[in-house]
Amino acid sequence: MLIRPLVLAALLACPAGAQVIPGGPPNVPPAMVADTVPAPFERPNGSLLRPGTVTYDLSSSRAGQLASLGTRTVQVSESTVAGMPAWLVTESRTGSAVATTDSLYLTRAELMPVRWSATSGRAVLGASFARDTAFGALQSYQGRASFTVGAAGSALVTPGMVERIVEMLPLHVGYHALASLLVVEMSAPRVQPAELVVDREEPLQLGDQVVACWVVTLRSGGAEEHLWVTKDSLRVVKTEQLIGGATLTALVHPPAPVMPVVVPADSSGMRPLAVPPVVPPTP
C-alpha cells in the first residue's frame, strides 16, 4: 500500500495501493459504534499544517512471532511547485528487504495533490494532477505503462497525506465521513471509495507514558487500517493493519512523552495538524 487513499501508498511493507488491509472491524460496544449516516468529507485548511518529521518502528506479528520491518520516516516541509507555494510530504522506509521512497506535493491551502513520485525497489511511479485527473506512468519488472485516472484530485494519495489530514479532522466518537483513495495495483491505479470512522477512545502505552487516543478506522474495499491519534497533540502515533494473517504495526519512535501542542483554531474550529507518515507503491 504505497497506501492510504489515491492512497496509493504502501503502508509498512505492503504493495502499493494496499493502503487498507483486509480484516474485520474490532469488537466495539454498540454505544461506541459510529453514526450510521456519514458526514460529507471536508478537507482541512492546509495553512494549518506544520512542518516536522516523525519516525515509526515497523513490525509484523503472526502466531505470536514478532519480526522487525525496519523504520519509516515521514517529513512535511514547505516548498514550491510550478512556482506556487506547496507542502512537500516525503517518506522513506529503511531496514527492510525493499527500500521505498515517496514524495507528494500538495497545494498549500487546499491540500490537493499536484505531483507525486514513488519508488519501491526497482519499481518507479510518477504522476501529475490536473484539475480532477491524474496522469502518470508506472515502471516495473513487467515494463512501462502509462495511466490516466479520473476523480483523483480529491483522493487521498499517500499514508503521510492520510495521517496528516486525519490529525486535522474534528474527531469525536461517532465521527463518520466518506472519502476516496488512490489505490495502486499490479496493472494501474484506480480511485476507490472509503470511509473514516472514529470507533472509540482508548489509552495507549507509549514508553513509560499512557496517552489518551482516538481510534480512527479507514475502511475501503473490504479492508481496513486503524490509526491511534493522540487527543492532546493530535498526532498519529500508531497504525495497525491485518494482512494475510499477519498484523502490521507502525509505532512512533522514540516512544517519548507526546507533549500537548497548543494549536489556534480558525473560524471553523479546525486545529493545525501535527506530522505523521507515508509509504510508496509496490507494483
| Count of CB atoms situated within 10 Å of the CB of 48 | 18
Find residue 49's DSSP bridge partners. Answer: 273
Please give the pLDDT value at position 187.
Answer: 65
Distant-in-sequence, close-in-space partners of 244: CB < 8 Å, separation ≥ 6: none
Indicate the average pLDDT of the chain.
79
CA distance 254 to 256: 5
CA distance 39 to 261: 27
- What value does the CA radius of gyration of the chain take, rounded to a whole number of Å? 17
Per DSSP, the three-state class of 267 is coil
Domain boundaries, the chain: 21-253
237-273 pLDDT tens trace = 999 999 888 999 999 987 544 444 444 444 344 433 3
CA distance 191 to 11: 17
Query: Is 0.85 topped by the overall pTM?
Result: no
37-95 pLDDT tens trace = 676 678 899 988 989 999 999 999 998 899 999 999 999 999 999 899 999 999 999 98
